[in-house]
Amino acid sequence: MRPTHAIKWTLTSQVFRGGIQLIQLFILAKILGPSEYSLIALATAFTTLALIFSDLGLTAAYIQYQTITTEQRDALFTCNVALALIISLLAIVLAPLIARGLGTPLIEPLLKLTAPIILITALGQQVRASAEKTLNFQPLATYEIIGNAASFLTTIALALNETGAASIIWGAIVYSAIITTLPWIQFPKAMKPRLVRRLQIERKSLHFGLNTLANGILANLTLNSDLFLSSKILGDSALGSYSLPRNLTLQLQAIANPPLNRASFPILSKFQNDRITIKELFKAITSITITLNAPLYLVLIFYADPIINLALGEAWTNSIELLKVLAFWGVMRTCLNPPGTLLLALNKVESLRNWNLIVLIATCLTVLIAAPYGPTTMAQALTILTILQVALLWLTLIRRHTDVGFFEYIKSIFMPIALGWASIGGISTLNLPHDATPFHLFIQVAVSVTLYSLLVYLPLRKNLLTLGKPAT
């Protein structure tokens, strides 16, 4: 499959996932309110952490190394499942300690409930990776759409029956079961799981996989440190008001970024020794990523008031200003995705791990200093920190591994943002009527996004051609 087709299928799946999870987010917020929603946010954070442990980095090692043998592949699968089982049991044992540390006893049963997700997902991880390595994303995208639909129905049905935050995790369990079972049915010979006395794994593969796992854990802890560290400081209501716009921002990021990362990782890995091609690919991937994400966040910035008021009502008015700040934080966080994928593809996992560790420490300090001043101050501080990360990434890592100049990098990032600010921001100055309905909001947003799409069409097309050309 061509890279552009791979992006198309993964983007289709992710848009469906993002759309259905946005609907789920608003429904759960409407049912629960700010105070109870804080528990939903924590449950979601631990579910994403559980999914990271289901992989352990060995799948990335399988994709990254181009000459891995069938025996080594099967050994990686066996090792992955065995380690996932151990970590699932550890999650159950450590749940009471984590709950006490967070000062939230109600989170303990939710933590225990995430344990099956780790093992179930691990059972299908490398079967899916076999398809990803050859850019065969069509069947995977279909399974993910089915899984997300089933997860949504499960979550909403349980939430309406007063299951609360546990409904999110049960939905994740259903999703994991589907995306694990269906690939095994279609690709029954993709792996040959077997018990072995000694796992014949190349040291470089294991080293790469474990570093990838460490990077995933560090990145996840960095992302969720605001929730983990501020839960005691802010209280349930303030944390809930902060968590909704935060999760909304992250849901939007989950629409475009994962498919681009999944499709670009094997392409960059293929050309990891061709510095000239890597430079052009990285610039194209960065520009595509920002181009697809920018309008989503700019809509939140310019239409935060009607979105919150029309969708959720007066109970969530405290989230309006937070949404504006966190949307800008979101568009800046998007800039951090292509460098991470690049460093993994170039096998610079130790550099990425060290970077993620520094960012985790900086983020924790920022949250601890800013959280006592309220959720808005914390959001502003995190936004400033993210802007600094974008600049420092180029200074310390990007220019060293790609030869991309500073102004080339800045152009790739800020050209789509500037076009979006002009088009979406310009249309937003046409104020909605006082008695505006969701239909009025939809029309105005649709017009502004259409204008933006026309402005970015040619550069986006050029970058997509650049991405597809080397791998054809």
pLDDT digits (tens, 9 = 90+) for 149-159: 999 999 999 98
Give me the pLDDT at residue 365, please: 96
Contact between 371 and 229 under an 8 Å Cβ cutoff? The reply is yes
Residues 190 and 196: their CA atoms lie apart, in Å, by 18
Give me the pLDDT at residue 331, please: 92
Residues 315 and 309: their CA atoms lie apart, in Å, by 9
Give me the pLDDT at residue 197, please: 47
Helix or strand or coil: residue 114? Answer: coil
Report whether pLDDT(137) > 80. Answer: no
Residues 250 and 260: their CA atoms lie apart, in Å, by 16
Report whether pLDDT(252) > 70. Answer: yes
Q: pLDDT by residue (tens digit) across 24-66?
A: 888 888 887 777 788 878 877 877 777 777 665 556 666 655 5
Q: What is the mean pLDDT of residues 84-103?
A: 85
Burial 140-149 (b: 16+ CB within 10 A, else e): bbebbbbbbb
Report whether pLDDT(94) > 50. Answer: yes
Give me the pLDDT at residue 1, please: 52
Give me the pLDDT at residue 61, please: 60
Q: pLDDT by residue (tens digit) across 326-347?
A: 999 999 999 888 888 888 788 7
Q: What's the pLDDT band for 447 if we cut at 50, 70, 90?
A: very high
Q: What's the pLDDT band for 22 if we cut at 50, 70, 90?
A: confident
Select from 262, 270, 279 the least CA-distant residue to 347.
270
Report whether pLDDT(187) > 80. Answer: no
Q: pLDDT by residue (tens digit) across 255-305?
A: 767 777 777 887 888 888 888 888 888 899 999 999 989 999 999 999 998
Reading the block at residue 204, the tokens are: 């470089």
Give me the pLDDT at residue 156, please: 92
Phi-psi region at 403: left, alpha or beta (left = phi > 0; alpha = psi -120 to 50): left
| Mean pLDDT for the chain overall | 83
Share of the chain above pLDDT 90, in %: 26
Contact between 245 and 326 under an 8 Å Cβ cutoff? The reply is yes
Mean pLDDT is lowest, of 389-393, 432-436, 440-444, for: 432-436
Burial class (CB in 10 A: 0-12, 13-18, 19+), 4: middle
Q: What's the pLDDT band for 375 if we cut at 50, 70, 90?
A: very high
Mean pLDDT is lowest, of 15-19, 304-308, 317-321, for: 15-19
